[in-house]
Amino acid sequence: MREQETDMARALRGLQDGSSSVRLRAALAIGTAPDPGFVDELVERCAVEPEFYVRDMLTWALTRHPASTTVPRLLGEVRSERAQARSQALHTLSKIKDRRAWPAITRELLSDPDDEVARSAWRAAVVLVPEGEEAGLAGVLSTQLGRGGRETQLSLSRALAALGEVILPALRAAATHPDPRVRAHAIATERLSRDPDTGFEFAIEEAKRVVALGGSGQEG
């Protein structure tokens, strides 16, 4: 027991180390030998860890613990005032795939002012949405069309495309929106959903051309 406590203390100290490689090894060790005593520290570290690849390992370590332990703690984090805490908690919930987390994916999170939080919420929503609620989710996601830069727009297009044909009414409505950015994004997303091999850059540039010519992508 004393040796186990020593290993746990060493791993927890490692999560706070100034070296990212030490933090990475600590997260790997915790995930390899999961223990409920690690969960709070893993979740807290997710909120402040500056390195992407360490955050990814922290998420992996959390997925190695029982959902009954991790999900309630993560649900608390999605309401955090810290954007990174919200984003990483949502990312981790999307990896755990426990649909009991669905009610926490609120409209507020799906339209969070922080792009990284919103992108994580979109990905989590697509994974967690209950059967039969995809069209409603598509309607909410479509309100974010035209938002942000290319990476943000691509994330939204991928999330919408993953929902299948239920997205078409929302996209076709958005294709007549007064904002040309919204129209172009809607047209590009529909094309991407029909042909996933179409590059997003090509789809969005072609959609912008259609919009510039006064079209909605629905002609013919």
pLDDT digits (tens, 9 = 90+) for 151-178: 999 999 999 999 999 999 999 999 999 9
User: Based on the domain organization, do 120 and 143 belong to the same domain?
Assistant: no
User: Based on the domain organization, do 35 and 66 belong to the same domain?
Assistant: yes
pLDDT of res. 9: 83
Average pLDDT over residues 102-125: 97
State the residue range of the domain holding 149: 134-215
How many domains would you assign to the chain? 2
pLDDT digits (tens, 9 = 90+) for 82-109: 999 999 999 999 999 999 999 999 999 9
- The CATH number given to whatever domain includes residue 8 is 1.25.10.10
User: Based on the domain organization, do 178 and 103 belong to the same domain?
Assistant: no
Structure tokens at 107: 């409209």
pLDDT band for 1, please (50, 70, 90 cuts): very low
Q: Report how far apart, in Å, the C-alpha atoms of 64 and of each of 32, 43, 124 are.
A: 8, 13, 18
3-state SS assignment for residue 132:
coil
